[in-house]
A and B are shown apart, each in its own frame.
Chain A
């Protein structure tokens, strides 16, 4: 039923109008005191001008309701278009976020010269790292646990990077 109202402009106005008239007329007929007369005495109903008028209105309402529904389906339109429509109506915000932008989906191309430069840089970085940690590990006192505590440790390990950290001075 909700799909009937998914049209725009004059069509929607016609549709709503027709449907409203239709409902109003039928409400009046069946809630009025004439209801009994309609059911019991058909001739009374036929002679009543008011009822004719109501029937006429009802007919207009129904007609405009039917006419209004026609533009909902365009010529040659797939009758199941609404399935797709509902699917994309639900996800349109998410799908349109990258509109008007460049989505970067780049790849890394192999370049012999660049690869050589990268290898060179990597070797330099490795050497530098080794140089830093060489000093650190070479001066590591692995027998410290077995030796008795000495007060002059700070002088003994003066050039030791490991000992330069204050945390290790007190154990």
Chain B
């Protein structure tokens, strides 16, 4: 009788162990492909390509020569026109970070963060001491705006599928409307269900 009870207990424990969720920490640079959808690896590859391309292109040196200072960039809108929900902020932040860390490009805040910053400044006008109060109308105006789009092409039949993502980032001179740089990254995947 005793071995039978022991066997039952072990079986129950094994069953419980099989049912429980198992989480393992992995390196962010080695995210495995599970479903074939857009994942961290894709975002990283796009960021790497864009950073290398943006910081080595002629627009930067041209601006430095003409104005004798580093250009100021504002991040605009990225439109996701692919078949998946993709958040561009992941690779856009990598790009912005590279602008700041290399000190080659100045960056100004945009969107809701800018609104929050201005609201804080407005609050300071009545609540902060006169010496520490920040003034309105002294923000840095951007020279260029960074906009982008994500597109995808899907070809699927039976259990086979190929997906091609195309990520484009464009840098446009705000005053002249001239596009000075277009970053491009294509990613293709073959998925078999």
Instruction: Name A's B-contacting residues (CB within 8 A).
Output: 96-114
Contact = CB atoms under 8 A, between A and B. Distances in A.
A103 B78 contact: yes
Contact of B81 (A96, A107, A111): A107
Nearest to B78: A102
Contacts of B82: 106-107
Interface of B: 74-89, 110-114, 150, 152, 154, 156-159, 161, 193
Contact of A111 (B78, B80, B85, B156): B156
B156 A104 contact: no
A99 B156 contact: no
A84 to B, nearest CB: 12
B83 A106 contact: yes
A101 B77 contact: yes
Top 4 A-B pairs, shortest CB-CB distance: A100-B111, A109-B154, A109-B83, A99-B111
A107 B78 contact: no
B158 A112 contact: yes
Given A99-B110, A109-B156, A110-B156, A104 B75 contact: no
A98 B111 contact: yes
Contacts of B78: 101-103
